[in-house]
Amino acid sequence: MVCLGNICRSPLAEGILQHKAQQAGLSWIVDSAGTNGYHIGEAPHRLSQKVALLHGIDISHQCARRFKAADFKQYDKIYAMAEDVIDEMQRIAGKDFDAAKVDLLMNELHPGKNMDVPDPWYGTEPDYHEVFAMIDQACDKIVEKYRVLNNDRPLSR
Ligand code: 4NP
C-alpha cells in the first residue's frame, strides 16, 4: 500500500487489509510505504490512528518508510492510493518498475475508473472517516477476490 507520506492513507490501508486478511485466515504479508521521505520513522497521523481504532484496528505500531525499487521484488501486488503516487513510484523504481504488479487501490472497487483516495493531510476528522470507508470497501473486494484464488490453489503438488 503506497501513498505520498506513509502517514495518513497507506497506514490505514495496511492496517485494514492486514486485519481483514487475518479475519479470513489468510497469512498475507501486508506493508506500506510513502514516495516522499518527509515523515520517515514517524507513527501514523493521529487522526488515522483514531479512526482505525474506532473500527477496532490498532495501527500505532507502524513506522513510516520510503518506497524503494526492491519493493517490486518483495511484493506480489502494489496498490497506490493515487495516480501521482504511481508517477513517483515509477521515478523511484526506474527499470525495476513492474506495471503488472501496480494498480490504483480504488480500481478494485470501481474497476477502470482510476479514482484516487483523496489526500486528507490538510483535512479534518470527517476526511479521515471518508478515507477509511473507501479503503475499507476496496480491501473487502481484495480479500474476496484473492481468497477464492488461494482456495483454488492445490495445497501440495
Ligand atoms: P499521505 O498524506 O500521503 O496519505 O500520507 C500526506 C502526508 C504528508 C504529506 C503529504 C501527504 N506531506 O507532504 O508532508
Q: What is the pLDDT of residues 2-43, one digit of tens each?
A: 999 999 999 999 999 999 999 999 999 999 999 999 999 999
Q: For residue 3, which atom of ligand 1 is closest to its CA? A: 3
Q: Is the Cβ atom of 6 under 6 angstroms away from ligand 1?
A: yes
The C-alpha angle 137, 141, 142, rounded to 5 degrees, equals 115
* pLDDT tens digits, one per residue of 39-91: 999 999 999 999 999 999 999 999 999 999 999 999 999 999 999 999 999 99
| Residue 157: how many other CB atoms lie within 10 Å | 3
Q: Is the Cβ atom of 44 under 6 angstroms away from ligand 1?
A: no
Domain 2-150: top CATH class:
alpha beta
Cell numbers for 59: 495501527
For the ranges 96-100, 116-120, 150-154, which has the lowest average pLDDT? 150-154
Could you tell me the pTM of the whole model?
A: 0.94
Report the amino acid identity of residue 78.
I
Q: How confident is the model at residue 151 (pLDDT cuts 50, 70, 90)?
A: low
How many Å lie between the centroid of ligand 1 and the Cα of residue 101?
23
- The whole-angstrom separation of Cα 12 and Cα 24 is 18
Q: Is the Cβ atom of 37 under 6 angstroms away from ligand 1?
A: no
Cell numbers for 14: 495496511
Q: Where are the domains of the chain?
A: 2-150
Cell numbers for 104: 490504483
Q: Is the Cβ atom of 121 under 6 angstroms away from ligand 1?
A: yes
How many Å lie between the centroid of ligand 1 and the Cα of residue 10?
10
Name the H helices within the chain.
Answer: 9-23, 46-54, 71-74, 83-93, 125-152
Contact between 72 and 78 (Cβ < 8 Å): yes
Residues involved in catalysis = 3, 9, 119
Contact between 136 and 105 (Cβ < 8 Å): no
